[in-house]
Amino acid sequence: MSVLVADRASSFEERVQRAAHPFVYPAIRALVRRGPVVRVPGVGVLVSDAGLAREVLLDTEHFSKLGPGAPSDLWTPVLGPAVLLNMEGAEHAALRRALSGLFSPRSVRELVGAEQDAVLGGLAPRLLAGDHVDLVREVEHLAGTVICRMTGLPPTDEAVRASFAAAREIVGLVRLHRRSLTPRQVRRAREVLGGLTEHAAAAYRAGDPATVPGRMAELGLSEREALGAVGAFVLTGTETIQSFVPRLVAICADAGWLDRLLAAEAGSALRSRVVEEALRVTVPSPAMLRSVRAETSVGDARVRAGDRIVIVTLACCRASGPFDPEAPVDAAVRHLWFGAGPHFCLGMPLATAQVDAALDALAPVAAAGASLRVVRRKVARGVLVPAYRSLVLAAEGGRSAA
């Protein structure tokens, strides 16, 4: 890939990042240049080396998701004390085992595939007929539909829009420089989440295996565990998938890889490699938090109990260079955007299934001999997870779907 093409792809990604965090993003970039481990008063200990980040994530003896500055400070007041986001040890492992059946490749294909045709089936025909399509809106609709399935809501258009907006509002309360939500934000988050989990509770009690809460009841989870898990997956998965799919398509278009990506079959090595490389560059989880349990070292730096560790996943992953699916994979970086160790993202198969659903919906454009191009784009401002506000696509050449 030429330097000019790589620079174009990187330039647009830079705009996405700066629009989301116009002050924090450049500040963190400047700070991590000081070294792989940097102590920043009021923020924490920033770790920007992939190898060291992986060591922290794997070392549950010294580092935890519970404690000062950890994710528990953000989510326990909203979700309660027994969800995957704020659990450790044997209790955490037991809940993961109980939930694992819901996130097997087969289960997530069923969850996403049940709505795929209805939500995305018209994408390729519209594009081949000459329409312009805003991919952000389409992916939001898919994400909202999955939320409805997760919470037991019937996926009507109104419910889909409301569910997605509710999940986005809660996630939008979080800021990288804040260690916790304010009391007012906690009240609002509980109110919004309560509107979603009310339906999940009814689905759980009905025990309908066609719903995710009903499946959780079948698996033997308590109602509290089921509702906490639903809330956690809604919050962590919604913005990630809405952010990533448009950025995947945009960066592949900018780098000259989109035609090859859409021509690749689902499950193929080529598709998997391109998606993985786009995840490395876009880094849907730009930072991860841990609290220090006991004094130890991170690289050459000593850390004390109660210190806050901020793993700058964005810096860790991007250190491997610009987007290039043909480049060798750095083992230290591989899948780091989904974490490592006992807290490796349980929902990764669900995210992958939604990415595949979007690519499968666009693939007929390539099969018809047409190419997709980005007509116009707008970046999202002031959001937690960097994203496009809109990404409008058009098809050029090829045979009409009619």
Higher pLDDT, 6 or 388: 388
Residue 150 CB partners (closer than 8 Å, separation 6+): 200, 212, 213, 230, 233, 234
pLDDT band, very low/low/confident/very high, at 401 (cuts 50, 70, 90)? very low
Could you tell me the two tokens for 321? Answer: 């260079």
Domain count of the fold of the chain: 1
Q: Is 362 inside any structural domain? A: yes
Higher pLDDT, 115 or 322: 322
Mean pLDDT for the stretch of residues 28-56: 94
Q: Is 92 inside any structural domain? A: yes
38-47, 230-239, 377-386: which has the minimum mean pLDDT? Answer: 230-239
User: Angle at CA 287, nearest 5°, toward 284 and 293?
Assistant: 140
Higher pLDDT, 313 or 228: 313
Q: Indicate the pairing of strand 44-47 with strand 308-311.
A: parallel
Residue 267 CB partners (closer than 8 Å, separation 6+): none
The strands making up 388-396's β-sheet, listed across from edge to edge, are 133-134, 388-396, 371-379
53-62, 217-226, 264-273, 370-379: which has the minimum mean pLDDT? Answer: 217-226
72-87 pLDDT per residue, tens: 887 788 777 767 777 7
Packed helices 105-120 and 348-367: angle between N→C axes, nearest 10 degrees: 40
Q: Tokens 């962590």 — which residue?
A: 236
167 sits in the region (left: phi over 0; alpha: psi -120 to 50; else beta) called alpha
Residue 214 CB partners (closer than 8 Å, separation 6+): 152, 203, 204, 206, 207, 208
Q: Is 401 inside any structural domain? A: no
Higher pLDDT, 64 or 104: 64
Predicted confidence at residue 278, as pLDDT, reads 96
267-288 pLDDT per residue, tens: 899 999 999 999 999 998 888 9
Q: Is 240 inside any structural domain? A: yes
Nearest CA to 402 out of 132, 116, 130 is that of 130
Q: In angstroms, what CA-CA distances link 394 with 68, 130, 401?
A: 48, 7, 14
208-237 pLDDT per residue, tens: 887 888 888 888 888 888 888 888 777 777
Structural domain span for residue 17: 3-396
Predicted confidence at residue 379, as pLDDT, reads 96
Q: Rounded CA gap, 338 and 345, in Å?
A: 5
Q: Rounded CA gap, 291 and 145, in Å?
A: 35
How many residues can be counted in the chain? 402
Predicted confidence at residue 214, as pLDDT, reads 87
Q: Rounded CA gap, 210 and 229, in Å?
A: 17
Whether the pLDDT of residue 366 is over 90: the answer is yes
**pTM for the predicted model, two decimal places:** 0.89
Could you tell me the two tokens for 362? Answer: 């666009």
Residue 275 CB partners (closer than 8 Å, separation 6+): 248, 261, 352, 355, 359
Could you tell me the two tokens for 265? Answer: 């079959």
Packed helices 135-151 and 157-171: angle between N→C axes, nearest 10 degrees: 90
Which uninterrupted H or E stretch holds 76? helix 71-79
If you write DSSP's letter for every residue of 122-147 in order, what string do you get?
A: THHHHHHTT--EEHHHHHHHHHHHHH
pLDDT band, very low/low/confident/very high, at 70 (cuts 50, 70, 90)? confident
Whether the pLDDT of residue 329 is over 80: the answer is yes
Predicted confidence at residue 97, as pLDDT, reads 85
Higher pLDDT, 177 or 382: 382
CATH of the domain at 263: 1.10.630.10
Whether the pLDDT of residue 253 is over 50: the answer is yes
Alpha helices by DSSP H, listed for 155-257, are 157-171, 183-206, 212-218, 223-255
Buried b / exposed e along 286-296 (16+ C-beta atoms within 10 A): bbbbbbbbeeb
| Chain CA centroid to CA 38, Å | 26
Q: Tokens 């258009």 — which residue?
A: 157
Predicted confidence at residue 114, as pLDDT, reads 63
Average pLDDT, the chain: 86
Whether the pLDDT of residue 400 is over 60: the answer is no
45-59, 157-171, 234-248: which has the minimum mean pLDDT? Answer: 157-171
Predicted confidence at residue 235, as pLDDT, reads 73
Predicted confidence at residue 402, as pLDDT, reads 44
Higher pLDDT, 196 or 14: 14
Is residue 291 a contact partner of residue 307, using CB atoms and an 8 Å limit?
yes
Q: Is 402 inside any structural domain? A: no
Most confident of 77-81, 93-97, 334-338: 334-338
Predicted confidence at residue 77, as pLDDT, reads 83
User: Angle at CA 99, nearest 5°, toward 221 and 206?
Assistant: 45
